[in-house]
Structure formats: structure tokens, C-alpha cells
Structure 1
Amino acid sequence: MHLRPEELAEWYLKLQETGRVHNIDLVTPEHVVPQVVLSILHAKTLGLTLPIVYNTSSFDSLASIELLDGLVDIYLPDFKVWNAATSKRLLKADDYAEVAKESIKAMYKQVGDLCFTTDGLAKKGVLLRHLVMPGFEDEGKHIMQWLAENVSTDLYVHVMEQYHPRAHVGKQRRGPLGQSVSSPKPSKQLRYVDINRAVRLEEVHSVSQAAREAGLWRFAEAAEHGGHNI
């Protein structure tokens, strides 16, 4: 379904008037930021007052973040992995961390630390998410240290434990003609054998502890419905 920016703006208003929602949550819209900007501007002329949430992997261009300045109330960025080799293999982007660093700093410069309404709903700021991956807790620790030193020790952080292998993680690698790769050790021929398990609580706790030791102290807890209280 394709919508013009004006039509998307009207949907924002419908959600505000009849949906009883707390915000407008835009999920990974980096590829359509100019259109999103137009939709927000138009919606505000129609009477939109709900906070705008920008929900992103952080693989955003600084030009996009600049376009959103003054229009986004809450940035909800991920910081996924730290090492270039890891991001190249798992995310197919060897410069992910460097891009994420600059994007997150730009987001924080715009809206600052997360603040709340009197009834506990987030109204403005950054809520940073890190999904702890099995066997990659050291990368999470590096991320927490960097956030404390380069963004703010008052940054609101959600250290997440929800990782579970899905999609192609546990599937066999394919040969050049599409056939399954045979091996005396079949488990070694899985696409991503190292992350083909759920994350352990001790791995999550080690990243959380590293965050505290780095000086971070504002941590989000998942809401009962599985999302965030925003």
C-alpha cells in the first residue's frame, strides 16, 4: 500500500482521534525520510499533538537525522554490534558501528535525555536499545562504555534479553548450485552456528553490569505487552 505524505498525515490524525494511542511510532523509515518529514509537517497543520517516535537500527545518514530535527520527539535507536567483522557477517554492513555512533550522537544532540509526563509516559528524548547476542557480550560491554563516555551517563538504556534464533540462523548453508553442504559435522554447516541458541541470562547480566560500571544508571524495563512504556 502506497500513501502520499498527505494521506499518511491523515492516518496520524485518525490514530490520534480514534485509536487512543500515546504516540506515532515510525519503524525503520530511513529509506523514506523526506516523505516522512512532509507527512509530519502536514499532520501538525491538521492538529497533530502526539509525540513522534523514530524507531531505528541506527544505520541512518546524518542528512536524514538533520531533516528530522524539530519533528521527532523520541528517538528509539538500536546499537546492535561493535566490531566491524561482526557487523559485516551478521548485518552485511562492515561500517555499521561507525554509522551508528554518529547517528546516535546526532539524535541525542536534538532531543537529549528521555523525560516523561506526570503519568509515566515518555514524551521526549532518546531510549537506546541493545539486544545481547549469544557469545557477543563483550561487544555489548564496549557499546555500554562508549555510550557512557560519548553520549551521556544519563542516557536511558534497555539491555534486552529477547534474542532467540529465527529465520535463516539455524538453516544449513547452501552450495554454489543451491544444494545443501554435506559435512561430517553438520552443525558446523549451519548458516550462523555461533548464534543458533538463545542468549543466556548470565550474558545479559554481564552487559548490564558493565553498563553500571561505566556509569549508566537509567535502565528500561519491558512492559507487560512486550514493548516499551512509551
Structure 2
Amino acid sequence: MDLSPEELAEWMVKLQDVGRVHNINFVTPEHVVPQVALAILAARDMGLSVPIVYNTSAFDSLASLELMDGLVDIYLPDFKVWRDDTSKRLLKADNYAEHARESIREMYRQVGDLCFTGDGIAKKGVLVRHLVMPGKEEEGVEIVRWLAGAVSRDCFVHIMEQFHPTAHVGKKKRGAREEKRAVNEEEMSVVVKAGREAGLWRFQEAARHDGFNI
């Protein structure tokens, strides 16, 4: 449904007061950043106090991120791939990695390393996610090395393994590209090992329950 920024702000406060949520999470809001900014400002005037999460592919413009400076508490960016030819083929995007590096540096400038409340709920900072793709573990290695060297060795990182190729189920296979299969444990371990060797140490552990825990 269509909402004005003020109406969205009212829903945010309802989620806080009635739903008792831990945060308000905006997923891929790049195309509506001005409206989101107005809604957050209005919600704060209405008493919103839970953290604002900006959940993104990291293919953001610096201008939009600068507009969110002071409004976002937690940035949750993906860093998907490292090579331009991979981003063109899999993401249909030119210079994805360059944009992602700029975006994540700006996010980190705004909110810093991820920190938590006493009971383990994230309250402020950056958490970077990387989905390891089959046969593309070396791109993950480049990404974690960059995070350690250009962002922070204290950067909180979630190395993900849940790529599940089902897009062409029931269709005739065309070629034998690596992403036709799931990632394996060896590929996962290569990326995690490279991150630890680069100095990263804060990795998202698997949740002990059904779901994702921050």
C-alpha cells in the first residue's frame, strides 16, 4: 500500500510499541532514500528509539548514504563479488565491486564496528555479508582481505553458504557453469581461513535456533 513518510513513521512506532521489535529494517531502500529519511525523522519525533537497519546490496550511491548519515544505526551490506566480469554476468551490473567498496567505507565512517547491548542485540555498526559462490572462492578471499586492510580488522563479517541453484529446475541444462551446484565446505573454509589470516576475527556464528541472530 502507498504510505506517506508520516504514515510510515506511525507504522514504525507501532512495530516498536506493539510488536516489541529489536529494530526497524529497511531492505534495499536506495530508490526511496529521501522518503525513508523523512519517515525516520518523523518517527523519532513520535518516540521511536529502536535501531534503524539499512539492509543493502552495497550498490548504493554515496549521495544517498550521506543523506542517511545520523539516521541509520546498523548497516547490513552485502559484498557479493570482486571481479567486474563476474558482476556483469551474475548481477548485470558494471563496476559493482568499486561501488561496494566506496559504499562500505562510507557506512563504516558513519557507524564504525558493530557493537551490542548487554543481552547480545546489535545496536550500532556495520555487518558485512558475503555469499560464497561455487567456484568463486578466490573472489571471497579478495573481499575479506580488503575488509581487513581497508575497513577494519574488527569488522563483523558473515560468510554465507546458502547458495542453492534451483532457478532452472525442470529445464534442460545449458553448459556446466560452476554456479549450477551448491558451494562446498572446502570453498567455505578457504574464504574463512583467508579472513582470519588477514586479521579478521569477528565472524557470524550459526544460530542455535531456527533463524538468524545478530
1:107-186 alignment to 2 at 5 Å? 107-168=107-168
2:77 aligns with 77
Partner of 2:203: 219
Counterparts of 1:36-47 in structure 2, within 5 Å, are 36-47=36-47
Counterpart in the other structure of 2:99: 99
Gaps (5+ residues) in structure 2? none
What is the CA–CA distance in structure 2 between the aligned matches of 1:228 and 1:42, rounded to whole Å? Answer: 28
Q: How many pairs align?
A: 213
Check conservation: 1:16, 1:48, Cα contact below 8 A: yes
Task: Tell me the amino acid that sits aligned with residue 92 of structure 1.
Answer: K
- Residue 18 (1) aligns with residue 18 (2): yes
Alpha carbon RMSD of aligned pairs, Å? 1.4
Higher radius of gyration, 1 or 2: 1
Alpha-carbon separation, structure 2, partners of 1:111 and 1:22:
18
Q: C-alpha distance in 1, partners of 2:49/2:206?
A: 25
Which residue matches 2:213? 228
Q: Give how far 1:222 is off.
A: 3.4
Any idea what the Cα deviations from partners look like across 1:154-178, whole Å, max 9, x if unmatched?
000011111111335x575xxxxxx
1:55-84 CA-to-partner distances (Å, cap 9, x unmatched) read 000000000100000000000000000000
Return the alpha-carbon distance in structure 2 between the equivalents of residues 77 and 201 of structure 1.
24
Distance between the aligned counterparts of 1:19 and 1:86, measured in 2?
41
Superposition deviation, residue 202 in structure 1: 1.2
2:156 partner amino acid: Y
SS in 2 for 1:31: helix
Match among 190, 209, 229 for residue 193 of structure 2: 209
- TM, length-normalised to structure 1: 0.89
* Cα 1:45/1:136, change in 2 over 3 Å: same
Q: Is the 8 A contact 1:79 1:143 kept in 2?
A: yes
> After TM superposition, where is structure 1 displaced by more than 6 Å over at least 4 residues in a row?
none
Please report the TM-score for the alignment, with normalisation by the length of structure 2: 0.96
What is the CA–CA distance in structure 2 between the aligned matches of 1:42 and 1:98, rounded to whole Å? 34
Tell me, yes or no, if the aligned pair for 1:86 and 1:94 is still in contact at 8 Å.
Answer: no
Unaligned runs of 5+ in 1: 173-185
Instruction: State the alpha-carbon separation in 2 of the partners of residues 203 and 66 from structure 1.
Output: 36
Which position in structure 1 is the counterpart of 2:62?
62
Spell out, residue by residue over 1:110-151, the C-alpha distance to the aligned partner (whole angstroms, 9 max, x if none): 000000001110100000100000000000000011111100
Answering whether residue 182 of structure 2 is matched by residue 194 of structure 1, we say: no
Amino acid at match of 2:81: V
